[in-house]
Amino acid sequence: MPTLTIEYQTESERLILEQAVAFLTQMRPVAATAPDGTVLGACERVALDSGRRLVRDTLASAVQDRANTTDAKKKSARGSRGGARGGS
């Protein structure tokens, strides 16, 4: 069986990647077992539920990562200014 190696930068990125894999894993048996003529509808239901959750979590993660980065930059800038004054 083929394998896939994925590199990620943050824990939140890892969680989103795991959710994406779970989404695909969930979709395959739905498509394989849906009666003829209902495959698209069955897959759409999964996409609307699990897919919407995946997109929402991905967006929330991106916003949180951005906020964390901004906070870290602000803290670093404050620390740099304080260090420069303390040395004078």
> What is the tens place of the pLDDT at every residue in 52-69?
999 999 999 899 888 988
Which tokens is 85 given?
């004054």
> Residue 34 gets which letter from DSSP?
S
pLDDT-derived band at 70 (thresholds 50, 70, 90) equals: confident
Cα(37)–Cα(53) distance, integer angstroms: 26
Which tokens is 50 given?
């699990």
What is the residue extent of each domain of the chain? 11-65
Q: Kindly state the average pLDDT of the residues 7-16.
A: 90
> Residue 75 gets which letter from DSSP?
H
Cα(44)–Cα(34) distance, integer angstroms: 12
